[in-house]
Structure 1
Amino acid sequence: MSSTREPFEPLASFGATHNAWVGNSQHVSLLRQTPVAQPLHLQAEPATLEIDLARSALVIVDMQNDFCHPQGWFAQRGFDISAARRPINTLSALLPPWRAAGGRVLWLNWGIRADRANLPPGVLYKGKAGKASNTGYGEVSPEDHGAALVRGSWGAARIDELTAAEADICVDKHRLSGFYDSELDGVLRAQGITSLLFAGINTDRCVFSTLQDAGFLGYDCLLLRDACDTPSPPYVSDSIHFLVRLLHGFITDSAALHAALSARSDSPSHAQP
């Protein structure tokens, strides 16, 4: 009696690199990759940190035309957008070395439905500051660039000064917290990301709301102090920094992150041949 040997079936990877199964129809390994041999060592408060870059994402919040552009929704409402623009240079300098070291970037932006069907009265009221004459969410400013913060519109788009890479992830939100009623948690878990570094605007609003929810869901939270800003008085940011250090995670800054990335790239195990 002769037997026929089954042809070899190559192994394939299913899922994000650091959260993937490897296998074929006969055998599947559910073992995830172990942490990197050399973590990123980062100065932070209230303690120094070790970070696995492969499981980390830089979450950049709301750096969008309607908030940051001189012709955007906020500027046309008469708001001072200088605080919204202050993180731009810090992030522009930080993104290349962060990506080069293997860190992921996630753009978390307002992107509401055009019909505003899932925005409750309280959100709509605050969006217009309680005045019917003000331009609110999904409405058009006098200098028409489209409906404010509607998904796919000019106003909801990332500002031109900050460039996205092909591997970056983009997630839309429609509340201060990026985790509320969105796909953010599912995307992060599918990618095997456990540590989040927060940047963008505003420190005391969307950034802090999202950071709090991230901590409640079990993510490691780091706030990049100088890569965030807000038009609120300084004592408000001081309070946020206090609460992050005390309850939600860690505070660091771009200088510390640059230093950690530089030290890691200069180490023998990461030297180029």
Structure 2
Amino acid sequence: MPVPTMTLDLERTALVVIDPQIDFMSPKGAAWSAVGEAVTEKRLVPNLLRLFESSKRAGIVVAISPHYYYPHDHQWKFQAPAELFQHKIKIFDRPSALSLDGFRGSGADFMPEFKRYIEDGKTIVASPHKLYSPQTNDLAFQLRKQGVTKIVLAGMLANLCVESHLREFAEQGFEVAIVRDAVAAPKLPEGDGNLSALINFRYIANALWTTDEVVARLAKPTAR
């Protein structure tokens, strides 16, 4: 397959991090039994910290695409396998869409390591996506309003939310780089989500970079 040449125009680039939440990225989280091995192997949290730090230093747009479930979401009339699993373990649960009661420190909350970057008053926190893609939230709208055309994409789950965000962004005309060591997915009897995602990333993404490569590009004035 050809290898595209993607460069970063810092005025038009955003770091987008999907689901940087306790339920996915902490041993205390509801999904740790399914994702903990990959999160640990990838050094996901330290790598995301480096991405947050370098992005803030470079002055690019930073956006979060979170996942929340409210009581009414548990009343869906039909669900697919991953949905059934998520609702069963009560991942990302919040008691209300209209308040933060019970949010702080819950599985739906952001990882403590990331909060100084996410809660700095500058980071975009989009409305929640409900399954996997940004089709159900306002992320693309928010990025368009910031003049973003290039996206550096990281977070979880690699084979579900990350891939779905990648596909939607590609269809909407964004140029997307995946940070291959800043994404993670479950390893289950049905298969290795990391491997399946990496294969599709190679076909769809405009670039597959490591955290080191992204940090180096953001540090250069030309961002190449």
Normalized against structure 1, the TM-score is what? 0.66
Task: Look up the match of 1:88.
Answer: 45
2:132 alignment partner in structure 1: 176
Partner residue, 1:48: 5
Write out aligned runs for 1:107-122 (5 A): 107-116=64-73, 119=76, 121-122=78-79
- 1:231 aligned onto 2:186: yes
Matched with 2:158 is 203
Give the count of matched residue pairs.
Answer: 210
Q: Kindly tell me: are residues 82 and 245 of structure 1, through their superposed partners in 2, closer, same or farther at Cα, counting changes over 3 Å?
A: closer
Mapped pair 1:98 → 2:55: yes
Q: Tell me, in whole angstroms, the C-alpha distance in 2 between the residues paired with 1:83 and 1:148.
A: 31
- Is 1:241 matched with 2:198? yes
| Pairs within 5 Å for 1:1-273 | 46-75=3-32, 78-84=33-39, 86-116=43-73, 119=76, 121-123=78-80, 126-129=82-85, 134-136=88-90, 152=100, 153=103, 154-163=106-115, 164=118, 165-171=120-126, 172-177=128-133, 179-232=134-187, 236-264=193-221
1:230 deviates by: 1.6
User: CA shift at 1:214, angstroms?
Assistant: 0.8
SS in structure 2 of the partner of residue 49 of structure 1: coil
Instruction: Quote the Cα distance in structure 1 between the aligned partners of 2:196 and 2:31.
Output: 25
CA 55–239 in structure 1, closer or farther in 2 if over 3 Å, else same:
same
- TM-score under structure 2 length normalisation: 0.79
- Deviation string 1:113-163 (CA, Å, 9 cap, x unpaired) is 33217845215x643449x9x434576xxxxxx659998432221110113
Aligned pair in 2 of structure 1 residues 158, 151: CA closer, same or farther (>3 Å)?
Answer: farther
> Match of 2:154, as an amino acid?
A
Whole-Å separation in 2 of the counterparts to 1:121 and 1:169: 31
1:190-248: CA deviations, max 9, x gaps? 12111111111111111111111111111111101111112337864344333333234
Structure 1 gaps of 5+ residues are 1-44, 140-145, 267-273
Residues of 1 paired with 2:174 and 2:202: CA distance? 15
Unaligned segments of structure 2, at least 5 residues: none
The 1:175/1:150 distance shift into structure 2, 3 A limit, reads farther
CA RMSD of aligned residues (A): 3.2
Q: Secondary structure at the match of 2:79?
A: helix
Please tell me whether Structure 1 or Structure 2 has the larger radius of gyration of its CA atoms. Answer: 1
- 2: CA distance between counterparts of 1:90 and 1:107? 16
Q: Distance in 1 between matches of 2:5 and 2:58?
A: 19
Percent identity between the aligned chains?
Answer: 22
Larger RCO (CA within 8 A; separation ≥ 6): 2
SS at match of 2:66: strand
Per residue, is there more helix in 1 or in 2? 2
How far apart, CA to CA, are the structure 2 residues paired with 1:209 and 1:67? Answer: 17
**SS where residue 24 of structure 2 aligns?**
helix
